[in-house]
Copies of this chain bind each other. A is one copy, B any other.
Amino acid sequence: MRTTPGKGTLRVLGVDPGLTRCGVGVVDVSRDRSATLVHVGVIRSDANAPIEQRLATIAAGLRGIVDAHSPQVIAVERVFAQHNRESVIGTAQASGIALLVAGERGLRAATHTPTEVKAAITGYGAADKRQVQAMVARVLRLDALPQPADAADALALALCHAWRSAGPSATAQSLTPAQQAWADAERSAKR
């Protein structure tokens, strides 16, 4: 089903890049920082398939999501060489595909580090994965944590991008009701 963002909202596609599981999450974020889930899922590619087919599967999946949901920007997790896992090259290749899809569709793209995402979502750059997932579920008013973790990470990236783009959050003196709810949730999550 095609969806379109409401007026004044920013629609972001977050991508947690990976060859076997590429997390994708689309959110709408309003000017008051409140957010709504549009789509969440995982693009999988067969670990036994040739790499060129795996990357084509990921590209096709991402283009399908862009076509269905028309995000204004694609936010991709930044990959570091010092993440010296065996999979870092595959992760970098998948991130390149996500950025390429943005470039070819004329969409803006941005990369954010895991620390930036954690800080944006929980207020704490060293938060653990579960804290981030719990906050994502709370902000998007989900009944359960998004599964699998790659999907939750993609939503966190999308939220991170929208909030960072909007500039620093308002001070406590001038919180809107939505911002106040957010600040409460943030405090509650830190306990």
Q: Chain A residues in contact with chain B, CB under 8 A? A: 50-56, 59, 74, 79-82, 84-86, 88-89, 92-97, 99-100, 102-104, 107-109, 111
Contact = CB atoms under 8 A, between A and B. Distances in A.
Q: In terms of DSSP, what is the predominant structure of the interface of chain A?
A: helix
Contact of A104 (B59, B80, B86): B59
A11 B55 CA distance: 23
Contacts of A51: 99, 103, 109, 111
B93 A99 contact: yes
Contacts of A86: 81
A85 B81 CA distance: 8
A104 B50 contact: no
Given A52-B99, A100-B59, A89 B84 contact: no
A56 B74 CA distance: 15
